Chain A
Amino acid sequence: MNGALKVLAHHLRLYRRVWKGSVFVSFVSPVLYLASIGVGLGSLVSRGPAHTVGGISYVAFIAPGLLAATAMTTASSETTFPIMSRVYWMRTYDAMLASPLRVRDLVAGEVLWLTFRLALVSLIFFLVMAAFQTVHSIGAVFAIPVAMLSGLAFGTPVMAWAAKQRTDTPFALLFRFVVTPLFILGGTFFPIDRLPRLVEGIAWLTPLAHGVALTRALTTGNAASMATLGHVVVLAAYAAVGIAAAMVTFRQELAR
């Protein structure tokens, strides 16, 4: 068996113990968001002068944004503490590297594992979206792989960085100053062009804005533009750079 698959198998073996709780949380969180903010707050939006956001209901507007944002937060939690723990606290990787596994197997295995987690979370989220009648075309299922790609675009650079950390303080800062502001300002809850020009520009530098734009185009049926391709390229570039960086930092930390 391939080395990366062995690393994935290890993580799956551990996940087997907690999968029920994990799946339950992945299900409850979109329900709460879509019910409270989408339907609840959306009822206020529909009473406003415009009634809709660019022609679609508020819940249908935020649902794809939340899908991409959830992929981002899932990726962040999978690539911060767990990675540092395997490098430094539990030293899982040291044990793996004493076997025929190589550093590149570890990185590839982590990417596979992250992909698996993102697939699960995005699929569940998509099913909840469908239940809230926010999916308007067959092509909308492509929002699932796009959300996964958004998660990878965010998670792989974080993974590269997390391998170098020795305390959890930087992770708290990451969540407070990067993940949460992006979640709120990255286009999830309102169109990004409503932001001041400078902030909008910053938002477009992050993977989330591209992920949100893509998932929204797909679930609302407006994906047939060149902009779509551009978003995919940006996300893929983030993920590719993240993986390359993780190869470097993992090697620096584990094979000195």
Chain B
Amino acid sequence: MPVREKPTFKDFLNLDDRVLGLVVDRYALPEADCFLPILLDGDRCTLLDVRSDTSKKAVLEAGDRRYFLKQVPWYCDDPRQISASTRIQEALRLAGVPVARLVPTRDGDLWTSFGDEHFVLFDHVSGLRYRAHPEQVRSAALVLARLHTAAVTDADAPRETVFTLAADHIALLRKVVPDAADAAAVLEELLAPVERQAAAAGFAALPTTAVHGDFNPWNLLFTEDHRVAAVVDFDNCDVQSRLHDVAEALLTFCVLGYAEDSTNFAAHQRSPVDRAAVRRFLDAYEEVAPLSPAERECLPHALGAVWVELTCLGLLRDDLDTSPAYLDTWVRTFALLTGATAVGEPR
């Protein structure tokens, strides 16, 4: 899946009466007259489009049920990819992974288009957002393992790797943010050796399975007792080594900090890495789905690649401090993640 530049939205991610009418008709819903924009899943209420502005989203009430309507974001709105990702999502749900049910259209399709915009509608899952409770982290690790052991696959999945994705993000960073050329060069320098080391460790021969592709705290909803109620946002799902999800989960749950109330990264990331938290997550994951020796050897390299990808994302969104002094912090973090004392070493 090509990594693409964010387009300019002229309609402020808005949903109008035309879309409402089309949704009601296309999905044969009972009468619905509005979209609900206020989220009540945290300690403080917030707006859906404050939480995330990558695509149009809204909660919809029809009859006595609630649904979540989501435009497939620009970076993954290729019809072939949407078909694959919705099939994967549905197969995972049928395999018992807690995934929101995609509502089929009256024609039985798992996604639909209004003009050149593509949408999915799924059952609204009432849940709470992530609060960094240790039980939430543990439940996330267990669910991620279940997602991987479901052994779902799809012939049309893009089959990227963490290394191609990282390289694509660096290229996009160069194109979109010319001022970040120095940072892009540093990231490129960091990526090259871990990619070589991963190749030498047999990364290409690792088994593949359906991966979420964006497994982070904000794509999970939790119950009151801190269990995962649903995994959402499968736009980036793919069939590839599960190390992508494992690395991304370790980074987003245990390493990276976020700006309050959004999925954007905090400008200043903490350093050093909390290795105990990383170890706890990995231990919980391996209770259900132990990594093979080859996967364990490749994990630090995958961590490095996903860290590069996420750092590019942060730079593209202007989340991160780009001062020269802070670049040093990045490099130290990268070394900690990928170095000999990193998390993937055999116990």
A binds B: no
